[in-house]
A = this chain, B = another copy of it.
């Protein structure tokens, strides 16, 4: 068969290879025989004319362009934290169009997203998939069963896994981009709304059908660095403000002054040292709660004293780890979330402060994610039980307080996973026969440190041996429970209806628990 440059291509060759003949430089026929995503037009310029502009004037124009329909899934990252303005803007625009049944797949939602409650009540939003959520009106609305379908709580690694495996299909990813050029190269490092890394958006940018950069800082081509690059991005919208910088910095990165918290942190640091984890080449990650930060601080003090040269700190990065990097206590920071402005500044300027995707961080369905190399993980919990199962999703009264975050990802990988918490919180003992909701299975939890004592998982005979003469208040978990029951004789046993309002997925996509609607309304 002759092609359009007059070359004869034998038919037998076309049959054998399954290829087509050339039919023009810009002809759509003969495109990849297997499109990655059916029906999604590739963008290309015809000779002599400017490339098709990706710039849109408004969210509304973008929705026209992509043909968003009822029932579709939109996604967002949560790097703007409680200062985010984009989720509400996009969802309000969607609501104004009379659309229904939208699935919001945000990596995180915060108090500032309270306006979504109205949209839930009107069935504009009927599904939510989320990895972290703040206590507040939105979490309460979900608890109360306002959302038409059960919310799905995924871990950070599990969300990346689900997106990459095609289980969480995203029609349109709206990526808040503090620094972005007109072709979609973007980063989170620069601009008035700088938030640091954009790690939770990487999988969305790779796999969503339509990718929309939303920026308040349109820069000349090319944006530098190109954290997410142009060939993944369909549309670019400039708006007045994507986030409130005050809200972006995560609250308490100051160390706790609470004496009980300091006591727990001190015991944890001592435990880590006695068990041999404060050593050259060590790696560490902590949650962002007050006690966790205090553990980081005290561990840093021990490392300085012992002149330890650690390998990496990871996860959500605060000024404490930034300082430790500067001092050479760690050789690198592997960052999936900047928690404060010191972290943002460090990410900009320190080559060894590196962004990692949520997939590299914690996706179990890969050739080896970071959590598997982690030595020390310091975790929070709302509850823990006699099997060391951990709850971070609900309070004992059944109200939703958060989602999985990195809890079960890191516990599974860390060589020592330590839960740090008060035993008694607001008059209730957090150590229960059975947790209200299982998020992290006890087989991955090693130690529980509370103000009243420390329990070590029976599986960890090595730790029990190493710590038996430590002078620390180590006891069996049953003994710790007795103390807790005495100190907080009020036992809360809320009643639940049969209605399922939440599904908790383990990082591998299996269902580890469900959240039922409590009888009590919140």
A interface residues with partner B (beta carbon < 8 Å): 3-7, 9-10, 13-14, 17, 19-26, 30-36, 42-45, 47-48, 51-52, 54, 150, 161-162, 164-167, 183-184, 211, 220-222, 224-226, 229-234, 281, 311-312, 331-332, 334, 351-352, 354, 356-357, 359-360, 363-370, 372-373, 387, 389, 408, 412-413, 415, 434, 438, 441-444, 446, 459-460, 462, 500, 503, 505-506, 508-514
Given A3-B510, A51-B373; A36-B165 close (CB under 8 Å): yes
Which listed residue (B44, B312, B434) contacts A368, Cβ 8 A? Answer: B44
**A-B residue pairs in contact (CB < 8 Å), sample of 18:** A4-B441, A6-B434, A9-B511, A13-B511, A25-B441, A25-B444, A32-B509, A33-B165, A34-B165, A36-B365, A45-B413, A51-B368, A52-B368, A222-B311, A229-B360, A231-B369, A231-B370, A232-B367
Q: A34-B166, A44-B412, A47-B412 are in contact. List 7 more A-B contacts (CB 8 A).
A: A17-B503, A19-B509, A36-B365, A48-B462, A224-B351, A231-B368, A231-B370
Closest B-chain residue to A26, C-beta based? Answer: B412
Q: Nearest residue in B to A349 (C-beta to C-beta)?
A: B351
Contacts of A331 in B (CB 8 A): 220, 222
A366 and B226 within 8 A (CB) = no
Name the CB-closest residue of B to A438.
B5
Q: Could you tell me if B412 and A32 are in contact, using CB atoms closer than 8 angstroms?
A: no
This chain's copy number in the assembly: 2
Tell which of A13, A150, A365 has the most Cβ of chain B within 10 Å. A365
| B351 touching A438, Cβ below 8 Å | no
| Cβ–Cβ contact A354 & B225, under 8 A | yes
Interface centre among A25, A30, A441, A446 (most CB of B within 10 A): A25
Name the one of B3, B24, B221, B360 contacting A443, with C-beta atoms under 8 angstroms.
B24
CB-nearest residue of chain B relative to A513?
B7
Chain A to chain B: the 4 pairs with minimum beta-carbon distance, closest first: A30-B510, A231-B366, A32-B165, A22-B512
| Nearest residue, chain B, Cβ from A512 | B22
Contact flag A513-B5 (CB < 8 Å), given A229-B360, A368-B183, A500-B13? yes
The answer for the CA separation of A166 and B32 in the assembled complex, in Å, is 9
A512 touches B7 (CB 8 A): yes
Residues in B whose Cβ lies below 8 Å from that of A224? 332, 351-352, 354
**Are B354 and A389 neighbours in the complex by a CB distance under 8 Å?**
no
Question: How long is the Cα–Cα vector from A32 to B224 in the complex, in angstroms?
Answer: 35
When C-beta atoms are compared, the residue in chain B nearest to A416 turns out to be: B48
Closest B residue to A44 using CB positions? B364
A357 — which chain B residues lie within 8 A by C-beta?
Answer: 229, 231
